[in-house]
Structure 1
Amino acid sequence: MSQFGVDPDTLNELAGKFDREAKDLAKPIEGFASTASQIGEAFGLLGACDGAAQKYQTLLTGTLKALGQLPGVLTSDGDRLRLNATNYKNSDQTAVDHLRAATQPAGGPA
């Protein structure tokens, strides 16, 4: 492959990696959610009084929301990589077709 070319097959392989990572994230995210929410006495009595425990819960909620969106982001990125691969492949084929048409003698193939 040329240094300046794009390999659609490699893009499709990368898309597959994104898909696998998206699929594999669900259980670790669930595990993190269950363990991170068990704060016990981490903030002590003062944490309940000054709102530190509530602030932690708000932080955790935001973090879990962002982590929950990550599989969808990875899946979407994989889809875009596949679309790009298809577009590059189609573009390459169109260029080849134009070159063939330009090099054919007038009146069609002999």
Structure 2
Amino acid sequence: MPSAIAQLGVRFADQAGQLNQSASSFGGNALQIADAFGLLGVCDGAMKQYISMAQSTMQGLEQLAALWDETANQLVAQAEQYELTDEENARQLHGVMPGGGSGGGH
């Protein structure tokens, strides 16, 4: 069912958009740490490690959102291709069947 595939594509696109927004919000909040690590963070590099981890997480979320968006595009394109193929097959069948494909032979 091409329509079901297209609907799935739309759902992927919606989720990709929501994930992008969540990733942006996460990144803004996660990187506002001020002096959360105090002197300990400066001494042992905890703050640098945290920032690196937060940035990697943001990048991963953004990549996942991009993957979902690409999947959405592919699903919608596939649904359109199925519809075109179905239409072409119906035209060809109509041209081959006697009586315009009505099936009323003998």
TM-score (norm 1): 0.71
Give the structure with the larger helix fraction.
2
Q: Deviations over 1:4-56 (max 9, x none)?
A: xxx11111111111222222334322221122123455545333222222111
In structure 1, runs of 5+ residues without a counterpart are 1-6, 106-110
Please state if 1:95 is matched with 2:94.
no
- Structure 2 counterpart of 1:76, from 42, 46, 70: 70
How many equivalent pairs are there?
A: 99
Residue identity over aligned pairs, in percent, reads 29
TM-score (norm 2): 0.73
- Superposition RMSD on alpha carbons, in Å? 2.3
Q: Deviations over 1:56-108 (max 9, x none)?
A: 11111111122223333222111101110011112222222232233237xxx
